Amino acid sequence: MDEFGIIAKYFAPLAGEGAFGLKDDAAVVPQHPGCDLVVTTDAITEGVDFFGFDPPATIAQKALRVNLSDLAAKGAVPAHYLLNLSLPGTVTPDWLADFADGLAQDQKTFAITLLGGDTSATDGPFSIAITAFGFVPQGAMVTRGGAQAGDHVYVTGCIGDSGGGLAIFRREIHSLTDADRDSLIASYRVPQPPVGFAPRLRAIAHASVDVSDGLIADLGHVALSSGVRIVVEGELVPVSAALKKLWGDNAVRRAVTAGDDYQVAFTGPAGLEGPFTRIGHVEAGAGVSFLLKGGEVVLPKPGYRHF
The per-residue pLDDT for range 29-41, each reduced to its tens digit, is 999 999 999 999 9
CA atoms of 148 and 267, how far apart (whole Å): 8
Residue 89 has pLDDT above 90, yes or no: no
Q: Which CATH class is domain 152-296?
A: alpha beta
- Average pLDDT score over the chain: 95
| Gap between the Cα atoms of 198 and 259, Å rounded | 21
DSSP E strands in 192-254: the ranges are: 207-211, 229-233
User: What pLDDT is attached to residue 174?
Assistant: 84
Count Cβ atoms below 10 Å from residue 120 Cβ, excluding itself: 9
Q: Give me the residue spans of the domains in the chain.
A: 3-137, 152-296
Say what the pLDDT of residue 32 is: 95
* Residue 245, pLDDT score: 96
The CATH fold assigned to 3-137 is 60s Ribosomal Protein L30; Chain: A; (3.30.1330)
pLDDT tier for residue 307 given thresholds of 50, 70 and 90 = low
pLDDT higher than 90, residue 257: yes
Tens of pLDDT, residue by residue over 100-129, are 999 999 999 999 999 999 999 998 889 999
The average pLDDT across 212-224 equals: 97
Burial 256-283 (b: 16+ CB within 10 A, else e): bbbbbbbbbbbbbeeebeeebebbbbbe
Q: Among 271, 69, 273, which residue's Cα sits nearest to residue 281?
A: 271
% of the chain residues with pLDDT over 90: 91
Residue 114, by phi and psi: left (phi above 0), alpha (psi -120 to 50) or beta? Answer: beta
